[in-house]
Chains A and B, each alone.
Chain A
């Protein structure tokens, strides 16, 4: 099956700086890559996703890049704010079924 690795496991940045979280996947057939944000004690919620026919996608301060050849994808958060503090999960799937998640990155934005 698919194996998704995520780095770093923890990340601290100063407010206003950028944060980058990276994931790699093993199954070249994976074609859908969502990112989820999970605040403490709450459910994960989708923040952005990208499909394999696209190299980059941006939504305001959040962007995701995908390198299919290298089988890695990254989440970029610019101008970080304290409310961005949360655990972020990447995932990979084929045809949006049976997601395989990374182990999560705990992001702390220091005011």
Chain B
């Protein structure tokens, strides 16, 4: 069966520090991968999606970037975190024509 792993679960980082969140999927190949952000009390904002290795699409301009170095690995990064980057980050995957499954999320607090 397919599983999705996301880590870390929580992270407290100072302003200006770098960020790296990792997401991996097991039990499938060539999935679509997504990064979402959920600010406190708000909805799910699509940040990046990827349909294949090295293929990244960005939905909104921001201080973040994403990479997909391997088929089942999706990384969210920042060179210098801002206070406004705080939030709940969710990775998700889907087969080519089916529903999403979310990872367990990373709660990021930038201080």
A binds B: yes
Binding site for B on A (CB under 8 A): 1, 6, 32, 34, 36, 41-46, 49, 89, 95-104
In the complex the two chains form, what is the Cα distance from A93 to B99 in whole Å?
10
A-B contact count (CB 8 A): 53
Binding site for A on B (CB under 8 A): 32, 34, 36, 42-46, 49, 51, 59, 90, 94, 96-105, 107
> Which of B99, B104, B107 neighbours the largest number of chain A CB atoms within 10 Å of its CB?
B99
- With A34-B100, A44-B90, A46-B99 known to touch, is A97 a contact of B32 (CB < 8 Å)? yes
A89 touches B44 (CB 8 A): yes
Can you give 14 A-B contacts (C-beta < 8 A)?
A1-B59, A42-B104, A43-B102, A43-B103, A43-B105, A44-B44, A46-B99, A46-B101, A49-B99, A96-B99, A97-B49, A97-B94, A103-B43, A104-B44
User: In the complex, what residues of B have CB within 8 A of residue A103's CB?
Assistant: 42-43
B99 touches A34 (CB 8 A): yes
A23 to chain B minimum Cβ distance, whole angstroms, is 11
A100 touches B46 (CB 8 A): yes
Task: Kindly list 14 other residue pairs between chains A and B, CB separation below 8 angstroms, not including A36-B102, A41-B107, A101-B36.
Answer: A42-B105, A43-B90, A43-B102, A43-B103, A43-B105, A44-B44, A44-B102, A46-B100, A97-B32, A99-B34, A99-B100, A102-B43, A103-B42, A104-B42
Closest to B51 in A: A97
A104 touches B43 (CB 8 A): yes
In the complex the two chains form, what is the Cα distance from A95 to B103 in whole Å?
21
